[in-house]
Structure 1
Amino acid sequence: MEKYLHPETEGLCHLPVQGYLPAGRVEIRRGPDPLEAAVEDGQDERRPQADAEVPLGFPRYRWLLLLGDVVLISLAIIAAVGLRVGFGGRALLHYSIGPISTLVLYPLALYIFDLYNVERVFRSWETTFRSAIAVALGTLLAVCVFYAVPLGPYGRGVMVIEASLAWYLLNLWRWSYGIVFQKTGPKVPTLILGAGFCGRTICRLLKSPLSPYEVKGFLDDNLEEIDPDRYPAVMGRSDQLLEIAAGTGAHTVILAIPKNRSVRLIRTILDARLKGIDVRDMADVYEALTGRIPVRGIADQWLLFAEGFYLLRADYAQKLKRLIDFLASGIILFFMSPVIAVAVIAIKLDSPGPVFYTQQRVGKDRQVFTIYKFRSMESGSEKAGARWAAEKDPRVTRVGKLLRLTHIDELPQIWNIFKGDMSLVGPRPERPEFVDTLEDALPYYYVRHTVKPGLTGWAQINYRYGASVEDAHIKLEYDLYYVKNMSVFLDLKILLRTVGVVLLKDGSR
């Protein structure tokens, strides 16, 4: 029997699961908090909010990375043209006009493959691989632009030399960037108010070399010591905030007590703010760093008063999103019709059964609709009841493996988008029997049903394949971030990143 996480402050709920999760509601029982035990035992890899899984978000560092890329791509263009035609003034200028589109296309391709996620500069081999594919895609796009709108001569020799130099320089830049940020400059001295789960979670995130914060210690009315090898010390009680801030030179306090804030605590925080100390909520800092909203680190009041959720009440934005979905899905259906036809034939030849697979899914406002997919499993594989699909599911057919690998099995959902059941971007829809269980297990799960489900989403480009309540917990944090920050620009960002996820066979379904 496996135990799955219920993220509530008072304790965790356990979902007993025999193999896959069965259809219908699952009885939920209270139990001890294995997540807290994992933190105390030093087993961070067991916690669902694992630091290694989150992209750290420090925008100013991303802009610096982009600026360096543009400079280096410019140098690659000049060097490539100069090596082919010489470094004379007019010739160099004339032949540099053709490749100028790569100043936009290379960064666009780098973004598609998530190479402006600053955390990746610390993963040299992965960065090398992704940048090679990104430069290849950028070069292909540049060729398309050259034939569509020829700005100037762009020979094959210049193209190959520029791509090679750009790939080398971009990798060298990211490697140097990582070394520099291992030795960052002065950071903001910071205290964390609350040494419980939320406080320790944010402390771990702030240990990143990219973090602008330096955690001096914790304040907590429970003065029990925490692991000194992994966390700073508990320096005193909450009512000693001003005294300890003066002694440590702390300019910022992060409030990591999401619930049960006493009147005395509120007055202490207010006094600190009036004395010029920057007070920040743990959930806000966590959201900025990870692109997730910590369901264990918020209370109902936070959702009530947090900034965001603007498009949920903007009628014009909903109509614009629907118009984009309608036009885009119609165009995709038209151009992908040959691929759809080939998939239909391959499925019929591979195994007996229907071509399309239909399921009931929960959409906006909890309305149930029928979703369409190409059948990728043996016919009748769920006669025993609904089961969560596994990453290497034995029920998948030979053609189904290819369809899943390329995500072609999802193409019929374009029809759902055309009809208005779904959107191009949004939280992935779940089956009603799973939704019943997840709403019992995960607080605020219902919030994701305030928007239309999507073909791709913020969780899908940021998190691996998931098939458990623990995975649903992490995806919910991403989904809440999307609902809170939903915009046309965020949708565009997700669509671009989805291209990279599909090409690299990365991410989740």
Structure 2
Amino acid sequence: MRLSVRITKRAIDICGALAGLSLTAPAFPVIAAAIYLDDRGPIFYRQRRAGTLRSVTVEDGIKRLQFNEFHMHKFRTMRTDAEKHTGAVLASKGDPRVTRVGRVLRKTRLDELPQLFEVLRGTMSLVGPRPERPELLQDLSFAIPFFEERMRGMKPGITGLAQVSLGYLGDIPEGSAIESFAGTLQNPFDLEEAEGAVADDMRIKLLYDLAYAAATERLSSYLAMELKILFKTPITMIRGSGR
């Protein structure tokens, strides 16, 4: 990423995060009350996430990834014991662990609002690849070649090209430009046991994340892409695109 892009991106992040917090601050106590009344417990959810990729090494034939890790905060959308028996797993469609209020927050992306503070701290950006848990990224890098490259020199974002183009989990919306390629990108051999695999949706996300990364190589293409995503994000929230 060029210096001019980094400086411009940081300026947009700071201005955008301050504006976003000013506009959404009145909604915070309302959301907090709804979460507590629906499912007594913590209002916020704190979780370790992977930031920018630092290095890739191979030890005993196994690829090891190192990220700039940070703690991300969201409005809680799942039961407090969501991972008690499963450990770290990605959310799935119709996930029974999601609360009633949580479904609304996820559908409208309002659960992401506390991450505006992470943007001000500089651990996240307004726009970038979706932040994932380090252990899950390690597993996905085994299943999807070069999956970790989406985070090379790139901070994770609250929103991004994949987030405004795909469903909440990375599924392909009907009528989208990429739908005609779904057969070659998702379960191309029609294996029953591979139907609905998480890696398929994440592979689609990777294509969009790499396209965004390519746009950051020039200031003009970056600005066009950044403004397009920022414009589409509130529309995505209002429409409730995704789960």
How far apart, in 1, do the equivalents of 2:207 and 2:102 lie?
30
- Match of 2:202, SS state, is helix
Establish whether residue 465 from structure 1 lines up as the match of residue 173 from structure 2. Answer: no
Counterpart in the other structure of 2:135: 433
Q: CA deviation at 1:416?
A: 0.9
| Equivalent in the alignment of 1:241 | none
* Equivalent position of 1:405 in the other structure: 107
Alignment of 1:363-402 (within 5 A): 363-365=51-53, 366-384=67-85, 385-402=87-104
Distance 1:352 1:488 in 2: 43
Shift of 1:420: 0.8
Equivalent position to 1:484, from 204, 208, 214: 214
Alignment check: 8 A CA contact 2:43 2:75 kept:
yes
Matches of 2:33 and 2:167, distance apart in 1: 31
8 Å Cα contact 2:124-2:157 kept in structure 1: yes
The 8 Å contact of residues 373 and 411 in structure 1, kept in 2 or not, is answered as yes
Q: Displacement, 1:460?
A: 1.4
Amino acid at match of 1:496: F
| SS of residue paired to 1:331 | helix
- Between Structure 1 and Structure 2, the one with more helix by share is 1
Give 1 or 2 for the bigger CA radius of gyration.
1
Residue 437 (structure 1) shift:
0.8
| Superposition CA RMSD, Å | 1.5
Q: Secondary structure at the match of 1:429?
A: coil
Letter in 1 for 2:204: I
Change (3 A) 1:446 1:460: same
Match of 2:9 in 1: 321
Take 2:165 and 2:30, find their aligned partners in 1: how far apart are those partners? 31
Deviations 1:213-265 (A, max 9, x none): xxxxxxxxxxxxxxxxxxxxxxxxxxxxxxxxxxxxxxxxxxxxxxxxxxxxx
Answer yes or no: is 1:502 the counterpart of 2:220.
no
Q: Which residue of 1 aligns with 2:20?
A: 332
CA deviation profile, 1:12-36 (whole Å, cap 9, x unmatched): xxxxxxxxxxxxxxxxxxxxxxxxx
Separation (CA, whole Å) in 2 of partners of 1:345 and 1:464? 27
| C-alpha deviation, 1:424, in angstroms | 0.8
Whichever residue aligns with residue 336 of structure 1, its letter is: T
Distance 2:149 2:240 in 1: 29
Distance in 1 of aligned mates of 2:156 and 2:241: 20
The whole-number CA distance in structure 1 between the counterparts of 2:22 and 2:231 is 21
Per-residue CA shift, 1:338-375, capped at 9, x if unaligned? Answer: 10111112212222211100111111132111111001
Q: Is the 8 A contact 2:108 2:239 kept in 1?
A: no
Which of 128, 146, 152 is equivalent to 1:444?
146
| Inter-CA distance 507–490: structure 2 relative to 1 (3 Å threshold) | farther
Instruction: Describe the SS at the equivalent of 2:137.
Output: helix
**Larger strand proportion of the pair:** 2
Q: Which has the higher contact order (CA 8 A, sep 6+)?
A: 2
**Paired residue secondary structure (2:26):** helix
Percent identical pairs in the alignment equals 42
Distance 2:207 2:122 in 1: 25
Q: How far apart, CA to CA, are the structure 1 residues paired with 2:231 and 2:137?
A: 29
Amino acid at match of 1:485: A
Match of 1:138 in 2: none
Match of 1:341 in 2: 29
Contact 1:460 1:507 in 2 (8 A): no
Separation in 2, partners of 1:318, 1:483:
12
Q: How does 1:59-138 map to 2 (within 5 A)?
A: none
Residue ranges of structure 2 left out of the alignment (5+ in a row): 54-66, 171-197, 217-221
3-state SS of 1:371 partner: strand
Matched to 1:323, the amino acid is A
Q: Which runs of 5 or more structure 1 residues have no equivalent in the other structure? A: 1-311
1:316, CA displacement in angstroms?
2.5
> Can you list the C-alpha shifts for 1:142-188, whole angstroms capped at 9, x where unaligned?
xxxxxxxxxxxxxxxxxxxxxxxxxxxxxxxxxxxxxxxxxxxxxxx
How far did 1:466 drift?
2.7
Distance in 2, Cα, partners of 1:392 & 1:411: 22
Distance in 2, matches of 1:377 and 1:335, equals: 26
1:361 match:
49
**Aligned equivalents of 1:442 and 1:492: distance in 2?**
29
What one-letter code is carried by the residue in structure 1 that aligns with 2:202? A
TM-score (normalizing by structure 2): 0.76
Task: Find the counterpart in structure 2 of residue 182 from structure 1.
Answer: none
How many residues matched?
Answer: 196
Residue 335 of structure 1 deviates from its aligned partner by 2.1
TM-fit CA distance, 1:507:
4.5
Structure 2 residue 186 is the aligned partner of structure 1 residue 456 = no
TM-score (norm 1): 0.37
Matches within 5 A, 1:15-54: none
